[in-house]
Structure 1
Amino acid sequence: MERGGDHMVRLKCQILYGIECFSPDQKAANFCSDVKLIISIATLYIKVTESRNEIVKIKEQSGKRVELTCRKPFQSRIVWDQKNHGGGVIALFGILRRDKWKYDIIVEDTRETLIILAAVVEDSDTYECLIGAETKQFFVEIYVEPWDTKISTPRGTLVEESFLNISCTAQSSRPAANITWTLTTTNGTILELDENGSQTKAHDNKTLTRTSTIKIFASRELYSAKIECRIRVNQVNYDVTRTKYLIFNLKPTLPYITSNGNIVKESSTVTLVCHADDSRPPARLQWFRNGYSLLGKIKMIQNDNSTYNVENEINFIASSFDDGAIYMCRINNEVLQDPIKISKKLAVQYKPITVTKQRVVAVEEGNELLLQYDYKTNPNTPYCKRQTMKYAGLLNSTIELVCRVNSFSNSPTTFNWSSISGDFTGMTYQSDRTHSYHKINYTVEEYGKVSCSASNGIGRMKEDCVFEILPPGPAEAPIDCQITKPINGRVSIECVESFTGGYKTTYSLFTKSSTDWSRTKENNSPYFALNSLKSGQKYLIKICALNIKYKTESDCTEEFEITVPSENIATTTATSKKITTSSTENSKYIIIGAILGGALFIVIVSLIVFICMKKNAKTAAAEENANNYFTPPVQPRAPTDDGPNPRSQRYIPPPTEPQPNEIQEREIV
């Protein structure tokens, strides 16, 4: 700088050697000395940009000591400056100008070091070392680990089959944390998950908050699975994993009902248990019978994974009224939108219940009496009736097969036929509530067995009806013969045709007298009725079968023995059940009936005798009173020597014959 006039002053501004003034007189020199200090301070902010030739990057962890060193020529002076964030000159010519608690400076002959004692993230800045015309820049970046990390799930109740947004946050770190996700299932499988979104927020203190989010469908398979987010800041060797277990509310798995047996008999104890497993919170179970609420016994078990198994048990004694009853279990919890309802229809086996109507019927001795009654019985699966199981037919011919079953059910009965070979055509079906039959035309392609199965609303029959197809041949004796109990000298015999041989068959009934057999009756079916059997007699019978093709080959049953009781006990009970005469149980019932009948007869006779005696006594008393009423009075007389006076005694009339009306009344009694 130059100044004109009498005082010529030339100022040379030098950073390296300070400020020197050159003037020809003393007055100008004093002026130069006055401004020397001002000029020296002003020159601190002069930046020689064309001379910046060194840049240093320093990265350090928060809380560490940071040293910035500049080399200097001999007796040179250094200015330390912070470029940004409202810094300014830190040290001048080896002397700290500010924040002495934060900085320190070491001055040596060949170098000078500025020390940041405990660096914090706010110290991240550009620092300059000014040495004359040279500048050395230090880019200082302070790294800091996250102030807080956490993994979180949405607020409120988490439920099955919903989407869950799970977030992981690393708060106030520098630089921003790196976050990755993994999922470990309950069986140990590890899966890497992709984040659904990420967000980074900058703070005034130069730190960053990083939030990563994933979206997961809460399926039952992921219940109790482990979610992990790994948070890393490599610059500060920070590596932390946060864990969250997926716990959410679950609806129960498929509920079911168990019982103490598939077959329920009358008067037996029935136990029904409704199960609802693996629910959270515990399921609520309620029993209903035909729509009416029942009180059950609740049992609850908590599993290791915080789910619950719940049972509701009911016990009752089965009766015929329970047959067909519907027991329903209703299951509910907070996850289910609508309750689950499962039911069991009870099938109870019970004795037939007869429903009769009283009706007076006049019956003459010796005539047959037919009693009809309604009955109620329990449903059951079909089973084969007593029927012919063998059929004859030539190859390539068509024969008729009939499958008869007992089917106690309100639902229709369906049939299914099967064979090794052959065709089924011309099916005919008939059914009622108790009996069904299915008739088909079968073309014989080879001999063997044909099966018939039937089903109803209760289920399928346990054993099929198996028919055997044979070549034509001699007839076989009937089978499964049943003989009714002898009543009034009458016996019925009913058998099932075994094998007709494919031709018309005649059945003959033979009876044995002494040693010879004689044909008594003959019929086209194995059914016979024997009348006029003598009391106390035993009869030996047999039934033989003979068809018109093989007339010389007769086949007979074994011998049957029929014993007619000595005294036939009259009974008014009719039954359609066929029984054999050799049954000891029937004999027992006959003896008991005879004893009871005899006791009843004695009681009736005794009662009649007692009534008659009492009536006779009343009649005698009445006659005596009548005689006394009609006897005339007698005057007393003095006794004489001839003896007592006949008039002094009471007059007793001679006995008279009873009147006809009295005799008739006694006969009635």
Structure 2
Amino acid sequence: MVTQEIGPARVVWAAAGGGVDLTCNVTSPLAGDSPRLVLWYKMGVHKPIYSYDMRNGPATHWKSVEVLGSRATFHARGARLRVERVKEGDGGEYWCRVDFTTNPTLVFSTRLSVVVPPQSLKIYTDAGKEVRGRVGPYLEGDTLILHCRVEGGAPTPSVTWWEGGALLDGGQEGQGGQEGVSSNTLTLHDLSRPDLHRRLTCKASNTNLTSPLSVSVVVDMNFPPLWTRILGERGPVSSGRPYDVRCEAVGGRPPPRLTWLLDHTPLTSHGHQVRDDGNVSISELRWTPSVRDEGKVLTCRAQSPLTHTPALTDSWKLQVYYVPVARLRPGRSLNLSNIEEGDDVYFECSIKANPWVYKIAWMHEKSELLHNVSSGIIISNQSLVLQKVSRWASGSYQCVAANTEGDGTSNPVMLRVKYAPVCRSGQVAYHGAAKYEKVEIPCQLEAHPIPSGFSWTFNNSGESVDIPQSHIRVLGSGSTVSYTPNTELDYGTLLCWGTNSVGTQKRPCVFHVFPAGRPDPVHNCSVYNLSEAVVNVRCVAGFDGGLAQTFVMELYHPLTNALIANVTSEVPRFTVAGLEAGLALMAVVYSSNEKGRGEMVSLKVYTIKDLAEKRTAAVKPPPTPDQKPPTPFPTTSIVAVGAGLGGGVVVVVGVVCAVVSVRRRGGGGGTANIAGLACSTAITEASNQSELRSLLIFTGQSFNKFQDAISRRTPLLIYKYLKFLPQDLQKQDTKTMN
């Protein structure tokens, strides 16, 4: 066998752990010649390490387990031996021997050099602490020292520092005293704000077959804020009005702590927010200035929690506007507890205000006092003088100072002017009493101080008698006398006097005692606030007869004469609800007291028709010829209603009496006499009634029953329907009819 070695050895580099191709030329120099056997050898190994045999048919592969094992595969296309997961021991010289059918054997040589990449790379601080991801934080002016240490690698790796694509430090420091360790130290002096977030990368590489081993760290730094300022205008502020004051600190890292001080007092009602990635810190203070804050200094303070640098501050000297603070006091030599009518009184108003006041007003019982020398009111700047005061000057006094912020009202000062007793207005002056009836007559006085004694005197046209003290009761500023008239001469006038430390009452209180009677009728009755279901009536009360009176209203149905409602009230004002719509009702109003019932007053009242009913009636068809028209209201009633005023009632009653007179000619006896008396009495009394009486008689009662009474010649019933028959006449008529 002839062997021919072709050319010098070819050098191939491979990284440990990677793959490499060891090539071999299997093309024969002779045309038509083909390879039959390919053998691979390695220096130091006496036997083949791999064979590719095509001699006996299809090619077969054989591998030496001790050398490359399953990691090696020969690829005929390309004639290359592929070695995976290269190991450092795989390095050396390899031969490829190719046997051809005709051509002599060819041998090709390849030198494999295996590169071992560095195994680990770590960065340490100058204090020997390993750094991962972030280093710091540092302060401005600090020096940054980082040590990059690389273990393993053959050949020895190069260790460099980079920032992005820029080389910072390419100096190699060698083994550093440790076997298999390479290192490089990076030093940055005088760190500043631009050094924040710098990404520093240490790389270790000993071949271009693999990517360099690298580790990066980011520089972290802390800074004090660049400036602090209170935002917005710094004009005057108003006391009592809430303000939102903002303070901004820029450039602090981490965000500074913002606090507020009013002079040296901390304020806590504020919030904190950070924006622009932590570069700007904002604090908003919710604050309401007070009068006491005038001239104080509001300070915003920004303190970095980690830099230990002096805090940055911004201050605002406050000018606080406020509503005037007024304080009222009497003159220094004045004793308000001993002021009597005729004395002079003066007040002083001290004021504190910013801005200063443009007006000062003086108030008495909430009413403004005006300068009036003739009335004894003298106003001079911050003083008020009251000359020769009367009891009407008593009450609360205040001064009101006004500026652009508002009106400031002072404390009230009470002035109580001492005066002799006088009668209190609004008392009941007339008292009705029957003989032998004891009445309690109160006498209320106004005085300061309250009366210490009372005296009562009775006067009539013939004599004046002092009331014994045993009949007099005293309670506070009032006195009550118990009085019983026994004869006609005991009706007259009672006089009441009071006495206090100022003096005796000059003019007594006068009360009249007269025989009590029934109340006078109400008058001026009217209907108001018409509605579909409610009737409202109001009247004017008459004289009460000297006794307390109550008022009654009765409502009657116009057709059935049935009582619909009975309402009692302390005042002549009535309301009845729940009625039907569209009714014309009769109302009777009267008053009563302990002596009896007063004269009744009648009036017609209405409820308005329902609106839907009105619309239905508007489209109702006229009656057909075979339908009877509705029964008209009795002519007599129309005459009575139409009569309206006083004399009309007499005319109607006269007609009734005429009918009764004609009917009674056929009969006689007591019934006729009673009829005549009833008619004459009705005419006489009806003449004295109001025009509304006619509505009660002829529309408030059943007219059919009234006609029936006439046809049966029962004048007593006629008279009862007229509502005028006295009680003694009713008894007389009853006996006659029986």
Normalising by the smaller structure, the TM-score range is 0.3 to 0.5
